[in-house]
Structure 1
Amino acid sequence: MPAEVNESLATLSDQLILATVLLYLVAMICYALDLAFGRARTVVAVRRRQLVGAGGPAAPEDTTGDAAEDSGPQPATWAVRAGTIGVVLTWIAWAGNLGGILTRGIAVDRWPWANMYEFVVAICFAAVTAFLALLIRQPIRFLGAFVTVTAALGLGFAVLFLHVQAGPVMPALHSYWIAIHVTAAIVASGLFILAGVSAILYLIRRDGRPSVLPSREGLERVAHRAIVIAFPIWTFAVIAGALWADRAWGRYWGWDPKEVWAFVTWVVYAAYLHARATAGWRGKAAMIVSLIAFGCLLFNLIGVNIFFSGLHSYADVPQ
């Protein structure tokens, strides 16, 4: 017998997600102000390389991917503070996102990622979590504006087009495997989103020109590290999905569209890592491959549920 829905908590969850969207947008504005006015740069990296090539003094080692380009006038103090406020607001929004997930789960007494709305909300939370976790150890605040706007757009899309009322799910989803398989997929997807944002910025960035972004090398480093962490988690998610399929449907693999695209995503990310490790791929070619993999990921997460029918077609996508 399906559990009774706690309507108060379900309503609170919806309100928390709406508040989270607004907080992410305000945080994005703060990060943008920091980028525009708090990170003054001029093109000096190219000049330093030219001096070294001409027998001039050696340039200091670049350990951050963008240190060699920092120069010019001092950044505006108020803009730097805006960036700090953006970080604080991101943490508050992160807490609101988490609160929306938890209250939804408690309201329906199940794991709160059994439909497309809940899944997208969880992925946005995972992406911001990955950003904040890396921000503690690495100077990647420049990604804040892009990660928060991505999370805001994702949550906005979920609220406007994917939202369904909190309620029970079909029997196939009443399994501890949803906590194992889907959670792993959500964590890996959040990291892949961070890598995808970095790869897009890499293609936009032009070395040798004034920019508020770090060097291409710094952006590629962030993308690569995120993929290196996410890939084994995605591998585990695929294997766990096969084990769950055997328990639920009596077979490990059935060429269901969701299974196929999860495997395609795995193959393309594996190709990226293999090419980078063995063939020494760096730069634009590697980033393009990573973006192809990112496109496969997005299609697997959203497109398959919209355009295909199969054993995974219980995502409750509103018509």
Structure 2
Amino acid sequence: MNTGAVQIDETLARYSDLLFGTAITVYVIAMFLFLAALAGARSRRLAARELVGATAGSAGSSASGSSTPVDRTPGKLAQGTRRSFSEKLGAMAYPVVFVGLAAHIASIVTRGIATGRAPWGNMYEFISMTCAACVVAGVVVLRKPSNRPLLSFVLLPVILLMFIAGRWLYTQAAPVVPALKSYWLAIHVSIISISSGVLLVSGVASVLYLVKMQWGAKADDPKRSDSGFTGGVMRLVAHIPGADTLDRLAYKCVVFGFPLFGLGVICGAIWAESAWGRFWGWDPKETVSFIAWVIYAAYLHARATAGWRNTAAAWINVAGFVALLFNLFIINLVVSGLHSYAGL
């Protein structure tokens, strides 16, 4: 199919769509494997707690005159806490994510080759790029084995965003509209996409942090009831790592993503001057991007301020997360402005 002087490779475009669907499917499999790992982690903690209690009881009996020796060597203690089947499934999840990520990146690359341009010229492609950046950030930040199960909570919004993009925002492979025919498309949009993906990971970590702070003590209470919906929520919260770990992860992501996002906004302003004759015009997209940037700056300031660095800072980060999603969807799809050429 010819569109002007640009020829679209329809075969590669179809391969790109197939790889996109494959990536979603593999991400779903990995998410459930990670959830199984979380369940296994809790079972392991409970088994270890029971073993420690039993060891303490044996030690007390020995002290009162029993002749039975107590072997407290790490190897002996570990025998009672061997990996469960769910934990073995969880260990498989991390490489499965890389399979999905490989298919995802291949989808983006083949889309770019098929169209002969940077493969993020419409909402479908931009969301795909952002989700790939989010997964890359997740596997890097959560590479520690004890943190890897948290990738289930990162993959959940990725899967939802990719499903929405593929189901309702999908656009056939085609050249970009004239307003986007600039080398700034490859620079500005790629920077914004990568930084948005990293900041999405931070937002997920802060949401989990607030949940852990609210319900963590009750969830870790061995005397609590596990019945009903509340019990299910408590079991899920008990699977999540400690609040301090989540807070550090959120902070690290913002430290990396915030200056990158700011650089993307600056590049967008330079592109705007070239395309529209002004650096800044308070277009809805520009305005919300600036608001999101200010919120993340406030988060970093709060993390360095006594009395704000815990729950208050996390709420600010969540506000930035919401602003980012609002800028991604509502501004592009609902609000009319100079950036309303999403190619839907």
Task: Kindly indicate whether the alpha-carbon contact (under 8 Å) linking 1:261 and 1:300 is maintained by their aligned counterparts in 2.
Answer: yes
Extract unaligned runs of 5+ from structure 1. 45-70
Once the two structures are TM-superposed, the CA of residue 190 in structure 1 deviates from its matched residue by 0.8
Match status 1:293 vs 2:320:
yes
Query: For the structure 1 residues 79 and 259, does the alpha-carbon distance in structure 2 shift closer, same or farther, using more than 3 Å as the test?
Result: same
| Structure-1 separation of matches of 2:93 and 2:208 | 20
Task: Kindly indicate whether the alpha-carbon contact (under 8 Å) linking 2:8 and 2:173 is maintained by their aligned counterparts in 1.
Answer: yes
TM-score normalized by the length of structure 1: 0.87
Question: RMSD across aligned C-alpha pairs, in angstroms?
Answer: 1.9
Q: Match for residue 12 of structure 2?
A: 9
Q: Match for residue 311 of structure 1?
A: 338
Q: Match for residue 59 of structure 1?
A: none
Percent identity over the alignment? 41
Task: Kindly indicate whether the alpha-carbon contact (under 8 Å) linking 2:20 and 2:104 is maintained by their aligned counterparts in 1.
Answer: yes
Greater C-alpha radius of gyration: 2
Once the two structures are TM-superposed, the CA of residue 76 in structure 1 deviates from its matched residue by 3.6
Extract unaligned runs of 5+ from structure 2. 50-77, 221-237
Once the two structures are TM-superposed, the CA of residue 279 in structure 1 deviates from its matched residue by 4.3
Q: After alignment, is 167-176 or 11-20 more displaced?
A: 167-176
Deviations, residues 136-176 of structure 1 (Å, cap 9, x unaligned): 46742021111122221111111111001010111221111
Query: For the structure 1 residues 120 and 75, does the alpha-carbon distance in structure 2 shift closer, same or farther, using more than 3 Å as the test?
Result: farther
| Structure-2 separation of matches of 1:264 and 1:138 | 36
> 2:311 corresponds to which letter in structure 1?
K
Match status 1:77 vs 2:56:
no
Number of equivalences: 291
Following superposition of structure 1 onto structure 2, how do residues 148-227 of structure 1 map, counting pairs within 5 Å? 148-205=155-212, 206-208=215-217, 209-210=219-220, 211-227=238-254
Task: Kindly indicate whether the alpha-carbon contact (under 8 Å) linking 1:272 and 1:290 is maintained by their aligned counterparts in 2.
Answer: yes
Deviations, residues 48-85 of structure 1 (Å, cap 9, x unaligned): xxxxxxxxxxxxxxxxxxxxxxx9x6264322221121
Deviations, residues 181-208 of structure 1 (Å, cap 9, x unaligned): 1111111111111111111111221333
Task: Kindly indicate whether the alpha-carbon contact (under 8 Å) linking 2:303 and 2:310 is maintained by their aligned counterparts in 1.
Answer: no
Following superposition of structure 1 onto structure 2, how do residues 197-276 of structure 1 map, counting pairs within 5 Å? 197-205=204-212, 206-208=215-217, 209-210=219-220, 211-276=238-303
Task: Kindly indicate whether the alpha-carbon contact (under 8 Å) linking 1:38 and 1:75 is maintained by their aligned counterparts in 2.
Answer: no
Match status 1:41 vs 2:68:
no
TM-score normalized by the length of structure 2: 0.81
